[in-house]
Amino acid sequence: MVEQIDLTKEEVRGPRNLSRLLKQSLDSSHLELLRTVSAAASSQGIDIYVVGGFVRDLLLESVSVDYDLVVEGDAIKLGRMLTKNNGGSLTVHRRFGTAKWYLSAKLKSETGVSDLDLVSARTESYERPTALPEVKHGTINLDLHRRDFSVNTLAISLQSHDFGDLLDPWGGLKDIEEKCLRVLHSQSFVDDPTRVLRAVRLEQRLGFRLEDHTAELMDSALPLVDRVSGDRIWHEIEKTFGEESPETILARLDEIGVTGVLHSALSDQVDSWLVERFKDARERISRETLPVIYFALWLYRMRWKDIKAVSRRLKVTSVIMRVLQQTERVRGEIHVLKELSKPSEVARVLDGISKVTLLVIGLAEDESVSENIRRYDDKYRHVKPTFSGLELQERGVSHGPRIGAILRRVRSAWLDGDISDTTEEEELVQELLIEKRQRS
């Protein structure tokens, strides 16, 4: 249990050294890992800090293991040294001066951490709104200033001589105490309007409120969200779907008017129907599958024309698009699944539909539909004729669509109980072959 931290205490407010809090909150293997990184940085004569969400969450007593490390120097060179001395592998991004160190299997199993992000302190300037920024090397203070909200601008020094010292150049600690989200300058949302979505996500996750001026700036920047590329918006939406309760974030995006800017059909989709389904989805579905399920449910009640437009706008992947297309196809025949239809009819509608799409339909529709899906999944999908196409060819059916048609008829007969053993199946095949000869 982590001891409650009193942010007004001298040790935090004065020298503001958080090494005691770090020791209390982190596993010893993690402290060891931070010390290893710190020693490597010090041998290269550079300063290193853990920054951003980790520090914010540490102060809020919810420790994350997502370490963002910033060095005043060459992060790629540091990454190379860490890999050489401790194993693992490295990927680098020269343009941004960043590296990702993938820990060796041994370190990973000791710490549970798979990788560390190493970033060279940098500054960014935006040539024009919504464009990608120009990047230059900078100091830690300037690096912290390029961040979205003050609560993400805190850093903890990992140097051995001041290990644990808190850096708070932009007033982040006060805003954490006051539970308030504040941008660092009035152009922030204009420079990068995805911060509007990030603000709402953090506000809802942390239970913080937007500082008044920040709310005003956000409101004026809303139309700019329209100019952000689909993949960047999708990235933020996907992150939203990784949160505990994405429905509250979507509702807030509605309230502020962000969804409407993205596409008019996206507004006002959050109601008790959707909330109930999101909750059901969380109880039944694994974390990795949830984002696509949430997305398909969010769009479930829209017209196909709008679903296509929204998906194009958000540049969703072909895998997600396929789920949406299949959902639409099944919805077109949903009456079959709502009734006590013959098994062969249910199979006709559901054959070829992916498991994920079946989950979406099962969550969205009522119990009679779920029951049919369950029967299909448990039983019908496994029913096959004992005959193969090759055997039919040996009996004189020429290669082509006829073979498929006969096999389907035989499968339907098995499914509907019209035949129940191989003798009856053989009789049916004979009948179908005669029928075929008479027709041709």
Applying CB under 6 A, the residues found at the interface with ligand ATP are 52-53, 66, 68, 147-148, 152, 192, 194-195, 198, 239
Nearest Cα to 315, choosing from 424, 198, 236?
Answer: 236
Integer Cα distance of 325 and 308 in angstroms: 9
- Going across the sheet that includes 115-120, the strands are 89-93, 98-102, 115-120, 68-72, 47-51, 155-157, 166-167
Cβ at position 68, least distance to ligand ATP in Å: 6
Q: How far is the CB of 3 from ligand ATP (least distance, A)?
A: 23
Q: Taking Cα atoms as reference points, which of 343, 351, 373, 347 lies closest to residue 360? A: 373
Return d(Cα 269, Cα 306) in angstroms, integer. Answer: 13
Nearer to ligand ATP, 66 or 435 (CB): 66
Cβ closest to ligand ATP, residue 194 vs residue 259: 194
The C-alpha atoms of residue 322 and residue 292 are separated, in whole angstroms, by: 11
Which residue's CB is nearer to ligand ATP, number 27 or number 238? 238
| Nearest distance, CB of residue 206 and ligand ATP, angstroms | 9
As measured in angstroms, the least distance from the Cβ of 46 to ligand ATP is 20
- Residue identified by tokens 């941004």 is 96
Q: Which residue is nearest to ligand ATP (CB)?
A: 53
Q: What is the 3-state secondary structure (H, E, C) of the chain?
A: CCCCCCCCCHHHHCCCECHHHHHHHCCHHHHHHHHHHHHHHHHCCCEEEEECHHHHHHHCCCCCCCCEEEEECCHHHHHHHHHHHHCCEEEEECCCCEEEEECCHHHHHHHCCCEEEEEECEEEECCCCCCCCEEEECCHHHHHHCCCEHHHCCEEECCHHHCCEEECCCCHHHHHHCCEECECCCCHHHHCCHHHHHHHHHHHHHCCEECHHHHHHHHHHHHHHHHCCHHHHHHHHHHHHCCCCHHHHHHHHHHHCHHHHHCHHHCCCCCHHHHHHHHHHHHHCCCCCHHHHHHHHHHCCCCHHHHHHHHHHCCCCHHHHHHHHHHHHHHCCHHHHHCCCCHHHHHHHHCCCCHHHHHHHHHHCCHHHHHHHHHHHHCHHHCCCCCCHHHHHHCCCCCCHHHHHHHHHHHHHHHCCCCCCHHHHHHHHHHHHHHHHHHC
Q: What are the tokens at 150?
A: 């003050």
